[in-house]
Structure 1
Amino acid sequence: MYEYALFVHVLLAVIWVGGGLTMLLLGGRLRKSDDAGKVAEFGSHAEWIGTHVYLPSSILLFLAGVYMVIDGDWGWGTPWVVMGIVGWLFSALVGSLYLGPQGKKLKADMDAGTITDEGLLARVDRIVNVQRIEWLVFLIVVWAMTVKPGV
């Protein structure tokens, strides 16, 4: 059963981390156009993917990881396990306390017509900068999961 949990864990990491990088690259490319309409449309799609793909993937990834720690020979204090949990918690907090609320507020402001194109682009820049930091945390976690320091 451990091998199946590992497969699920790795598959969901590929979806979550790889998808996040794709969104950053595509979002950055669109942002360079300074076309607020394109950026807003992309933001709407990114918000949907975040709640319908990344959120469930991250939860299932965490549960598969918990199962592997319980079923395997890994302890909760193993350095790379701790790094994975801290990275996952960081992402969960960033998503629930910043990215999610900012995305909803941005969408509400766009729907109400209360934000200028310049304001939209500036807010998107701040959101993307936070996502860059989050992706670097993902990179550190992937390193920890593969190199397994302390083993």
Structure 2
Amino acid sequence: MDWYSTVKFLHIVSATVWVGGGFTLMLLGVLADRADDRENVMFIMRTVAQLGNKLFAPMSILTLLFGLVMAWFWVGFSNLWIVIGLCGFAAAFLTGTFVFKPTADKMLALIEKEGVSPAAMHLARRMLAFGKIDYAVMLVVVADMALKPTLNDTAILGGMVMVLAAGVAMALGGARRLSPAHA
């Protein structure tokens, strides 16, 4: 096995843990919210908050570092798909730093003070809404890494824009509740 394959493997493993773990928790949170299961929503959002600095941030940094190593030594930085990937990472990093972390900290403080209050649920739902946008960005980055589009790949680039728009629409659309017959 050569160095490129090793670094690429580590890049993919880091990204899988980061993106897959976060996506699973976000999906569980959305399903709990749709079922109006507030205790479960809060449990999942507390888990997200606890894993943010311990798992998701380190895995995201490792994903970036391994990707930068591959670009620096083997691929270069001029390809569109590299630029899209770096922009996606920047968007996810900024969302985590300036939305998820402070919102989670406020939510945890409220839970400590008041328990599962309407204000704490509001913050949990805010995290879920931003999570929908964040994971639309992640889906675009995963597609970007797999498909490696150029400026000539208008269908792929258009699909990426549509995925981002769908993520924003789902975040702004609020939570649909499951009817009691389906809960």
The two structures have a TM-score, normalised by structure 1, of 0.91
The equivalent residue for 2:10 is 8
What amino acid maps onto 2:82 in structure 1? V
1:19-57, CA deviations, whole angstroms, 9 ceiling, x for partnerless residues?
Answer: 122111111122234343332222211111222111100
**Any gaps of 5 or more consecutive residues in structure 2?**
152-183
Give the 3 Å change call, closer, same or farther, for CA 18–116 of structure 1 in structure 2.
Answer: closer
Q: How many residues align structurally?
A: 149
Q: CA deviation at 1:116?
A: 6.2
What amino acid maps onto 1:131 in structure 2? G
| Alpha-carbon RMSD | 1.7
**Alignment of structure 1 residues 78-117 onto 2, 5 Å:** 78-113=79-114, 117=117
Match of 1:26 among 20, 28, 47: 28
Distance of 2:70 and 2:15 partners within structure 1? 15
The equivalent residue for 1:50 is 52
Structure 2 contact 42–116 (Cα < 8 Å) conserved: no
Structure 2 contact 84–141 (Cα < 8 Å) conserved: yes
The equivalent residue for 2:167 is none
**Any gaps of 5 or more consecutive residues in structure 1?**
none
Structure 1 contact 30–39 (Cα < 8 Å) conserved: yes
The equivalent residue for 2:139 is 139
The two structures have a TM-score, normalised by structure 2, of 0.76
Identity of aligned residues (%): 29
